[in-house]
Amino acid sequence: MQRSFTLLLGCLLLTSTLAQAAVPTPPKVAARAYILQDFDSGRIIAEKNANQPVEPASLTKIMAGYVIDKELAAGNISLNDQVRISKKAWKMPGSRMFVEVDTFVSVEDLIRGIIIQSGNDATVAMAEYVAGSEDAFVSLMNGYARELGMTGTHFVNATGLPHKDHYTTARDLAILSRALIREFPEMYRLYAEKEFTYNGIRQYNRNKLLWQDKYVDGIKTGHTESAGYCLAASAKRDGMRLIAIVLGTKSENARASEAQKLLTYGFRFFETHKLYRAGETLTQARVWKGERESVPLGLAEDLFITIPRGSYDKLKATMRVAKKIIAPVQAGQRFGSVDIALTGENVAQRDLVALDSVGEGGFFGSLVDEVQLMFE
């Protein structure tokens, strides 16, 4: 059995300054597939064909960058490492950083070549440096895709060149983009850089939104004839970050304008609030037969909620707590849930977990509790 009670939200010192208005339907987006997602809460605000397999083109390089960031974080490589450019990397078709065969280029420069210049040569050079070969690097890419839950994705190469077995989905690219920004915020700053010069050749970031919208700080463009023009964009405005993925538009201008439509819609009609912090004590629960009589309960992760603008005051939080908690208790063990409702509709639910461990109590105390439990 569980007991339920209302959890006050007023202590959050958050206010809704706008009267709640009806949220219009999302704008029409001229793309084969798209998705708009809040970064913190994970709420999908708008989508179309989000689970449909599509060619990602150079959006593939978001995963290549994620793998490289993983290697940097693990200490397996460093930004100052010098990478020898192989003949295979030098000969790569498509977008290029214009590295020269048998020269040495720093990891940091190659990363910029991947992110800003979308260089296929830079991507293959890094793949070979990290894993020994592009094929081995692709195995790492697919492994991380599985770990992240990108169930509609399969990579064949590191660059995004067309292949019938190389595909992903808008939803999976949003999952990947959230992971990239969340896990590697320092490296993510490179995705906002507008230009990079290497070997005397200046190239500009193809993400036009970096010039058109001051809130946009990434992420990546992609294009092949079969994939169309693609864009993964992210913007942060007044503490709220959105991720927009548009796939298969008709032109460079179209991918920017269609992504901008989604971002504008999300910021205009929705707001995101952090309701509770991870590890924050939300209640104290009675523990029977323990070395202590109570245990603090809270959430394992921060709880964010994305709701229509002006509707914060209509939120209601309810906790459901297990009626009988008997020691031993392990930190992280589930003992109920926190439910968030908006005008009667449940919009979020999170496990309520023990924030501390509680060992078994002594014989006499346990005996007393046993007798009390008989009358509960």
177-224: per-residue pLDDT in tens? 999 999 999 999 999 999 999 999 999 999 999 999 999 999 999 999
Q: What is the pLDDT of residue 376?
A: 66
Which of the following is catalytic: 41, 86, 118, 177? 118
CA distance 148 to 144: 6
Q: Give the bridge partners for 3, in sequence order.
A: 321
Q: What is the pLDDT of residue 12?
A: 43
* Residue pair 228/181 in contact by the 8 Å Cβ criterion: no
Q: Which CATH class is domain 2-15+277-374?
A: mainly beta
Which of the following is catalytic: 41, 61, 234, 261? 61
Q: What is the pLDDT of residue 13?
A: 38
CA distance 372 to 376: 7
CA distance 345 to 332: 28
Q: What is the pLDDT of residue 7?
A: 75
Q: Give the orientation angle of helix 170-183 with respect to helix 60-74, to 10 degrees.
A: 30
Question: When comparing pLDDT for 88 and 372, which is higher?
Answer: 88
Q: Where in the chain is the domain with CATH 2.60.410.10?
A: 2-15+277-374
Active site residue 118: yes
Q: Where in the chain is the domain with CATH 3.40.710.10?
A: 33-269
pLDDT(156) > 70: yes
Quote the pTM value.
0.91
Which of the following is catalytic: 41, 58, 177, 311? 58
CA distance 95 to 253: 18
Chain Cα centroid distance, residue 319? 27
Active site residue 234: no
Q: How confident is the model at residue 14 (pLDDT cuts 50, 70, 90)?
A: very low
- Across the chain, what does the average pLDDT equal? 93
pLDDT tens digit sequence for 106-138: 999 999 999 999 999 999 999 999 999 999 999
Q: Which pair of structure tokens corresponds to residue 260? A: 């901008």
Q: What is the pLDDT of residue 201?
A: 96
Task: Cis check for the bond before 185: say yes or no (omega within 30 of 0).
Answer: no
Q: Which CATH class is domain 33-269?
A: alpha beta
CA distance 183 to 233: 17
How wide is the angle at C-alpha 188 spanned by C-alphas 182 and 191, nearest 5°?
140
pLDDT tens digit sequence for 276-323: 999 999 999 999 888 999 999 999 999 999 999 999 999 999 999 998
Which CA distances in Å does 155 have to 11, 57, 244, 272, 355? 47, 11, 21, 33, 40
Q: Which helix (H) or strand (E) holds 7?
A: strand 2-7
pLDDT(84) > 90: yes
